[in-house]
Amino acid sequence: MRQTTKSRIARAAALLLAAVLLVPAPALAKTEIHFWHAMGGQLGETVGELVRQFNASQSEYEVKALNKGTYPEVLTAAIAAYRQKNPPHIVQFFDVGTQTMLMSGAIHPVFQLLKEQEVAVNWGDFIKPVVAYYSKDGNLYSMPFNSSSPILYYNKEAFKKAGLDPAKPPATWKDVGEYSKKLLAAGGVKCGFTTSWPSWTMLENTFPWHDQPFATNQNGYTGLDTKLLINGEFGLKHIGQLAAWQKDNVYSYGGRQGQPDPKFINGDCAMLIQSSAVIGGFKKSVKFDWGTGQLPHWGAPYKKQNTIVGGGTLWVMKGVKVADYKGVAQFLKFIAEPHQQMWWSVTTGYVPITQTAIKNLETGYHFKKNPEQWTALSQLSGTPTANSRGHRLGNMAQVRDAIEPELEQIFAGKKTAKEGLDAAVAKGNEILKEFAAANKP
């Protein structure tokens, strides 16, 4: 008995040794480019594949992609690494962190990097809402990577059961209310609709969608002394309506982030407003026949503008070896190429963000076959106005964290829409003031 154990250990040790020796030594000539991202699961694998393709396409650089958790966790890790003077070259961060990154003094602007490295990327090819969001003074500061926008998902089978046309999602909020009542009356569903990422879908996107200002200074683009404007007439109307609907189950609040998704997936709610980024996941997990429609609109007198892009962009960090920037530039150029753009979008469900990629996908009847991938894109067409370019608020993640508890108080009936939104504005403004003070030029 003892003999076998011993020989087993010996064999294991030999195997281990062989494994160590057999791992190919990295080619010495390759420079490593570190890329920290927040893509988990299937998205993470897709990032890995993209990086593999780049590494195989040339022999000078080796991009090492590392999933560092959620967006805030990636940022925390990057800040710690930057302070220890050992930052990664590229960091993926989400839309609402844009102002924080711009003011950080820790980033090397993408437009400048590409100019220095004499790498030409045709930014004119990128769709306007994306470029506008991440540009400052007409120059792109971070590389758009994964972009999405909130859309409406609806349960076609529940629509049929309630005598509604399954080919016609509700276009206006009025429709949403009426359809929900019919759906509830027909039985089979417990709620008309629910909303994921409540602040993002119901305020941050609903305001630009109606060409309404979310905050002063053109949503923060033109100055730091910004104040929220969500407690105006439009905000009260919209949130007030949601609160009223919450009482008779037309609307059912389901929590923050993606927590409400199961209410739709298990058939409780007939409609869901959520990011277009979940299309890929829904194709696998939703058992019934479903479709998508544009984010509902209030109609006249409000103008239909555009929604804004959510998702992440790639920031290039300062504090790395200047010589490495050449490889970083090549990697960014690689991602921007039409083939990679198309592949990324088709594989993940994120919207394609270059005109060429969109045109190629159209030519291949991709959107005819996958109409749901067209929905978000259709909301992003056109030239953004001062109200719909995006949001450039300092510590926006914290602002969102100030808004969402107030929304919860409103939907729980503890506060009126006015009381809740006034409180959200007061708290949000404090945070913005703090950010302005900490980032005095």
Binding site for another protein (CB under 8 A): 72-73, 75-76, 79, 82-83, 100, 103-106, 253-256, 259-263, 266, 268, 395, 397-398, 401, 404-406, 408-409, 411-412, 414, 427, 431, 434, 437-440
Residue closer to another protein by CB (options 372, 404) is 404
Burial 359-380 (b: 16+ CB within 10 A, else e): ebbeeeebbeeeebbbbbbbbb
441 CB neighbour count, 10 Å cutoff: 5
Smallest gap from Cβ 104 to another protein, in A, equals 4
Nearest to 207 by CA among 307, 96, 115, 296: 307
Gap between the Cα atoms of 415 and 378, Å rounded: 36
Nearest to 351 by CA among 266, 298, 422, 278: 278
Q: C-beta of 74: minimal distance to another protein in Å? A: 11
* Gap between the Cα atoms of 261 and 236, Å rounded: 25
Listed residue (181, 189, 185) closest to 156, CA to CA: 189
In 266-416, where does DSSP find H-type helix? 279-285, 325-336, 338-348, 355-363, 366-369, 372-379, 396-411
Minimum distance, C-beta of residue 83 to another protein, in the bound complex (Å): 5
| Beta strand segments in 212-363, E | 269-275, 290-293, 310-317
What is the smallest separation between the CB atom of 132 and another protein, expressed in angstroms?
A: 24
End-to-end CA distance of the chain: 74
Integer angstrom CA distances of residue 41 from 55, 70, 366:
21, 12, 24
Residue 144 to residue 92: CA distance in whole angstroms:
10
- In the complex with another protein, the residue whose CB is nearer, 266 or 383, is 266
Task: Report the candidate in 401, 402, 180 with the shortest Cα–Cα distance to residue 273.
Answer: 180
Select 260 or 312, whichever has its Cβ closest to another protein.
Answer: 260
> Between 94 and 134, whose beta carbon lies closer to another protein?
94
Q: How far is the CB of 268 from another protein (least distance, A)?
A: 7
Coil, helix or strand for 121?
coil
**Minimum gap (Å) between residue 160 Cβ and another protein:** 24
Q: How far is the CB of 100 from another protein (least distance, A)?
A: 5
Least distance between another protein and beta carbon 253 (Å): 6
Residues 9, 409: Cα–Cα separation, whole Å: 62
- Give the nearer residue to another protein in terms of CB position, either 362 or 434: 434
Smallest gap, in angstroms, from Cβ of residue 441 to another protein? 10
Cα–Cα distance, 122 to 290 (Å, whole number):
37
Judged by beta carbon, residue 230 or residue 376, the one nearer another protein is 230
Q: Based on CB atoms, which residue is closest to another protein, 50 or 239? A: 239
| Phi and psi, residue 105, nearest 5° | 70, 5
Supply the minimum distance, in Å, between the C-beta of residue 120 and another protein.
30
Comparison of 189 and 361: residue with beta carbon closer to another protein: 189
Which of 71/234 has CB closer to another protein? 71
Q: How many CB atoms lie within 10 A of CB 184?
A: 18
* Residue placing its CB nearer to another protein in the complex, 112 or 439: 439
